[in-house]
Amino acid sequence: MTRSFELEFPTIKGYARINSLDKLQEPTSFFDCKFYPYTNPGVDPVFAVVGEGETVVCRKLPESGVEILRWFHDDDKEVSLNSCAWSQDLASGDPLLCVSGSPSSIKVLNVKTGQLIRTLIGHGKEVNDLAVSPLSPTILASASMDHSVRLWSLDPQHKKQPCMLICAGEGHKEGLLTLSFHHTGKFLLTGAMDCVVILWVIPELPDENSGIDKPTIIHYPHFSTSAIHTDFVDWQVLVLPAFTLLLTHNSVAWYNDLVLSKCAGENKIVLWRIEGFDSSKPFPPAPSSSPTPEFRATRSAFGGTFQRLLQFDAIETNPFYMRFSLFTQPHRHPILVIGNEKSKVFWWDLQSIEAWDGQNATPNNDTFKFPGTSSSSKPKKGVARQLSKQQRESSISSSTTAATNSAFGHSIAGASTASFEDRGDRGAPKAEKKFSTDDPFRKLLPHRTQVVPRVTFAARQIAWSVGGDWMVVCGDQGMIAVFGR
């Protein structure tokens, strides 16, 4: 039987450039995009993009084009947004959008009314990532350059003291760049500029300290390692259990709870697992001191280190703040995707990797088994680093070219609807390009690639709609590209 990869991958349907409301400024660089998750598959695909002082909420129209539903502009010249996360008002059902960046506050916007309803203050430095708990849209997590994670309550009854939990102390030694919830909401993974990936065990929230001025503090993580990556762990880490099917940023697991992560400078995404970690079993009690000696690159309360499983070849993704995404839904192939700094998008069909026999290039009916290699090599020693808006915006290589309005003819600044130029599928690589999975250090080539035409830009973030019918890529030069299948 021949596997058809093309049927599982989206193709580009159009692209456009969203300029700043201030026509005198350069086009906005968008660093994050998210589809509204609290809806049924195929219904009303609404997404938001954020960057600098702009937050733009759009809807993909049924035929072609994108309708701009709401445009939030921050007049503060010091504001530089880099992250967003959707929530929902449980009383009214109104969609809420949390946005953050520099300076250190988090703003909660009511997209229906267009009002700023709350500002969360507590972090001491720039906030680099946001995530809403899968347990409740009222639980928001934030990762900051102040070395800490904070979990906030968006419940109005905790409005006066919204911070419920702080993860800090014996965790990261440099600024945090990314975080991601396990689907159970009980575990949180973080990555930072210290090259370390950490797993925090999250207690049931809200707890007895919620709503008061003494939030719960977790000093010691259950797991940490600096042996996976050698540079900024900037996106994205996520733990997934076996056979879990959900829509999120990262995922693939066949037998155990697994992690996908990427760092700057390596041009790859790594799939790995924490030895001894099983989300279906009771986890060890919270450590009161470092689980293993401080000098070790990997410290774990689960009784082991880690196992490197697979690596995905993501060329020209050297700069940090280039983030991947993963779609998983029942009855559809799980798809891993990332864009690079040359307008190119890469896809991997993870289900085909599970079944693939690299020697005879035919689907393998035997049970897929991961390699047994375990790594504990120490990364290159780094130095203390500072992250700034200028660093993030200058992190793209000099080959990135500026786009002009004439390159599109479909600029949508100040307009309510944008007509995207339709582009056909450029074809998928032949199945023979797939690699065997017996070597955890060999990079797997993408199953399909496609270039967003006419302009060279860095793809910063990718989002999937509920159900996976639509995919949005956002990045530098105010660019957004819409893919569909």
What is the reported pTM?
A: 0.82
Higher-scoring residue by pLDDT: 381, 432: 432
Q: Give dist(CA 301, CA 287) in Å, integer.
A: 7
pLDDT average, residue stretch 9-29: 79
| Structure confidence at residue 236 as a pLDDT band (50, 70, 90) | low
What's the mean per-residue pLDDT of the chain?
Answer: 79
- Let me know: does 128 contact 143? Beta carbons within 8 Å: yes
- More confident position, 311 or 234: 311
Q: Sorting pLDDT into bands at 50, 70 and 90, what band is 212?
A: confident
Checking if the pLDDT of 358 tops 50, the result is no
Residues 410, 344 contacting (CB under 8 angstroms): no
Could you give the 3-state DSSP secondary structure of residue 364?
A: coil
Question: Per-residue pLDDT for 203 more than 80?
Answer: yes
Highest mean pLDDT range out of 13-27, 81-95, 349-363, 385-399? Answer: 81-95
Which residue has better confidence, 35 or 40? 35
255 has a pLDDT exceeding 50: no
* Confidence grade of residue 295 (pLDDT, cut at 50, 70, 90): low
Q: Which two tokens stand for residue 301?
A: 């309360």
pLDDT of residue 426: 39
Report yes or no: 109 and 55 within 8 Å, Cβ to Cβ.
yes
| pLDDT single digits (tens) 48-90 | 999 999 999 999 888 778 899 999 999 898 999 999 999 999 9
Distant-in-sequence, close-in-space partners of 444: CB < 8 Å, separation ≥ 6: 310, 311, 312, 313, 348, 353, 434, 435, 437
Lowest mean pLDDT among 143-157, 173-187, 213-227, 352-366: 352-366
pLDDT surpasses 50 at 417: no
What is the structure's pLDDT at 154?
A: 96
Element spanning 73, H or E: strand 66-73
Of the spans 57-66, 247-256, 259-268, 336-345, which averages the highest pLDDT?
336-345
Range name among 67-71, 229-233, 258-262, 344-348 with the lowest pLDDT average: 229-233
- Picking from 317, 349, 392, 353, the residue whose alpha carbon sits closest to that of residue 83 is 392
